[in-house]
Structure 1
Amino acid sequence: MTSSADRPLLFLDVDGPLIPFGRPGGYPTYDVECEPRGAASNPLLARLNPAYGPRLSALPCDLVWATTWMADANECIAPRLGLPELPVVSWPEAYDDERGGLHWKTRALVAYAAGRPFAWVDDEITDIDRAWATAHAQGPVLLHRVDPGQGLTEADFAALEGWLRAAGRGLSA
């Protein structure tokens, strides 16, 4: 049996992957039975597809918020998706080499993973981040860029599930 410490991590960004933006013509909105405190003040939360929660929960990994929403993700996002409270990555001050194109989250996520396999879902991932994470992580990594105009799609879920299952079995993907 695989212990939680052996399961891959899935770092989740909110804006872009879970709350799509930037597409002309608008987005579908969703009504939810559970309206978290403070959610009414942010109209973008209506773009959260409640079907994402069960899909994310079914993935063979431990979910972690990797977003500037920080703890607010547990207060405003998780209840709308039916997710439990998740761990949240704390962001350090900016690193000097980010001027060279490395995303400001990349180093912190590799450090947080501490050798565990991990996937990171974000709309700002570049090849520079992929190369750096592959060179510095102690386990398999998948940096999966999501189109912010679409948010998570069936293809994204399929890619994540396949990679997470392989990584959980100790296979490099």
Structure 2
Amino acid sequence: MASAPERPLLFLDVDGPLIPFGASYGPPQVPVPGPSAALDRGNPLLDRLDPGIGPRLMALDCRLVWATTWMRDANEAVAPRLGLPKLPLVEWPDTGADDGPRGLHWKTRPLVEWADGRPFIWADDEIGAMDHVWVAAQHPGPSLLHRVDPARGLVEADFCAFTDWLGALAAG
């Protein structure tokens, strides 16, 4: 009996996609009690999180993975506010930002290595043309590098792009 294929990955950045930088970012949220309380103090950016995004992300047919410099703080401060469970996270190597062609984002290589040939979506506000070229040449599986507008964060059009890509992938 063949095993079911592993679900595609969705690498999530926090600043920009989940914490938008634009002027209108939704109503302030009620602080979540618990271990994230220390991280909440003095961090007004957390008020920009939209708790409605968590259920939408969970409804996608993929495995969510943090791909952010927030590191473990994403699970402690961001995930509870979005109603997400603790997610795996990409550990960034201690290499220089100049490892690769000019214009290649420093996250690109570690994400491709983490994906290890599996299909993935990368949602980030700093994806550029060189990232698309490099992933197409270096990653043997399907990928969607999706640049999110950092002024707005994840919006309906982004979720449509994710579901369309995942649907096409599932259809073969």
Cα shift readout 1:16-36 (whole Å, capped 9, x = no counterpart): 000001x3x453233236343
Using structure 1 for the length normalisation, give the TM-score: 0.89
Cα shift readout 1:50-101 (whole Å, capped 9, x = no counterpart): 0000000000000000000001000000000000000010111225344611
The CA deviation at 1:39 is 1.4
CA distance in 2, matches of 1:70, 1:44: 16
Root-mean-square deviation (CA, aligned residues, Å) is 1.9
**What is residue 79 of structure 1 aligned with on the other side?**
80
Instruction: Pick from 140, 143, 148 the counterpart of residue 142 of structure 2.
Output: 140
- Contact persistence 1:59–1:161 (CA under 8 A): yes
- Contact persistence 1:32–1:50 (CA under 8 A): no
Using structure 2 for the length normalisation, give the TM-score: 0.90
- Give the 3 Å change call, closer, same or farther, for CA 46–128 of structure 1 in structure 2: same
- Contact persistence 1:8–1:60 (CA under 8 A): yes
Report 1:114-133 matches (<5 A).
114-133=116-135
The CA deviation at 1:6 is 1.5
- Contact persistence 2:29–2:48 (CA under 8 A): no
The CA deviation at 1:134 is 1.2
CA distance in 2, matches of 1:141, 1:119: 6
Aligned-partner residue type, residue 74 of structure 1: N
Matched, 1:7 2:13: no
- Give the 3 Å change call, closer, same or farther, for CA 2–20 of structure 1 in structure 2: farther
**What is residue 42 of structure 1 aligned with on the other side?**
43
CA distance in 2, matches of 1:40, 1:2: 46
Identity rate, percent: 59
- Contact persistence 1:9–1:113 (CA under 8 A): yes
CA distance in 2, matches of 1:15, 1:112: 21
